[in-house]
Amino acid sequence: MKDPDGRIPFAKQAALFESAANHLNDPCFGLHFGSGADPLDIGLLGYMGTSSPTLGDSLRNIITYVRVSTEGVHGKLTVEDQLAFFTVEIIDPQTRHRQQMYEFGLVMIMSFMRLVAGRRLIPEWVEFRHNRAEDLEGFERFFGCSVRFGQRKTSIVLKRDLLDLRSKSADERLLRILKGYCEEILAKRGDKADLKDEVEYLVASHLQAGTPTSQLVARELGMSERTMARRLVGLGTSFGQILDGVRHQLALRYLGEPNARTSQIAYLLGYSEPSAFNHAFRRWTGVSPSEFVSAA
């Protein structure tokens, strides 16, 4: 904690936020903590974002270099008609249910957007993947718009033309220097561990549409299937092992939900039949899903 260059694994950060919320009896800890924090506290990444020419450039640079600050988050900026979607996903399947981290993250991103724009931007709406049935007023007060929970993704939705807003602190020379620092950090750190994280993230993202293939995942990573396989072997794993591991982790998570149904979980994990899920779960744990729930 005293080392300014020290790195805390993302999964432990997310667990810490959940523990803090429980200890303080504050179900909105992520919102409250994030709304009182300075967006520039994220350090190099924050200053690089504020030095970018426009809000859109800032968001794209953060997405490109987010691994400088954390290995646990994947960001994406997409434009559909007149709307821009800044979407955030936690990569680690075991950590994706940590709602405090999601809420803290979107609050910080919103604060960062307002810092870059120099004014209180108001999104069209904000959406979270997880459910929340209470304390909604605080979220709508902070974001200034409708905040929806239980959605398919976690996003801040803006009018498309807001991406062209000029940054109040744009500095091309500083941006060039900071980008160089980011590239040096990533080069020294290497990307081997990140490849496994990215494959896990893509596998988890595609499961509801069926079993994702290594060809599909490799294509989304911008590499050949053979190259991805070779690099994963260098990490001591394979696409099949990652797919099996992600399904195992998510199965344990889903079975912990109230009123979990085996047929629904099988679908969420990409199995065509519940029997295939039951067989896999017994292989992982030695018991059936129903036996596992009964013993919990």
- Specify the CATH number for the domain of residue 207: 1.10.10.60
**Residue 242 and residue 260 share a domain:** yes
The domain of 262 spans 192-295
Residue 33 one-letter amino acid: F
**Residue 251 and residue 200 share a domain:** yes
In a domain, 1, yes or no: no
Sign of CA dihedral 105, 111, 114, 118: negative
- Segment 198-228, tens digit of pLDDT: 888 788 878 877 889 999 999 888 889 999 9
Q: Report how far residue 271's alpha carbon sits from residue 263's, in angstroms, rounded to the nearest whole number.
A: 9
**Residue 132 and residue 54 share a domain:** yes
* In contact, 32 and 26? CB cutoff 8 Å: yes
137-162 mean pLDDT: 94
**Residue 117 and residue 179 share a domain:** yes
Percent of the chain with pLDDT over 70: 96
137-157 mean pLDDT: 94
Number of domains, the chain: 2
In a domain, 175, yes or no: yes
In a domain, 4, yes or no: no
Say whether pLDDT at 128 is over 80. Answer: yes
Give ∠ CA 183-186-188 in degrees, rounded to 5. Answer: 105
pTM of the complete model: 0.71
**Residue 108 and residue 38 share a domain:** yes
**Residue 169 and residue 141 share a domain:** yes
**Residue 158 and residue 255 share a domain:** no
Which of 184, 210, 229 marks a domain boundary? 184
283-295 mean pLDDT: 89
**Res 190: pLDDT:** 60
Q: Report how far residue 270's alpha carbon sits from residue 134's, in angstroms, rounded to the nearest whole number.
A: 31
**Residue 239 and residue 147 share a domain:** no
**Residue 46 and residue 76 share a domain:** yes
- Segment 50-70, tens digit of pLDDT: 999 999 999 999 888 887 887
**Residue 177 and residue 65 share a domain:** yes
Q: Confidence band (pLDDT; 50, 70, 90) for 101?
A: very high
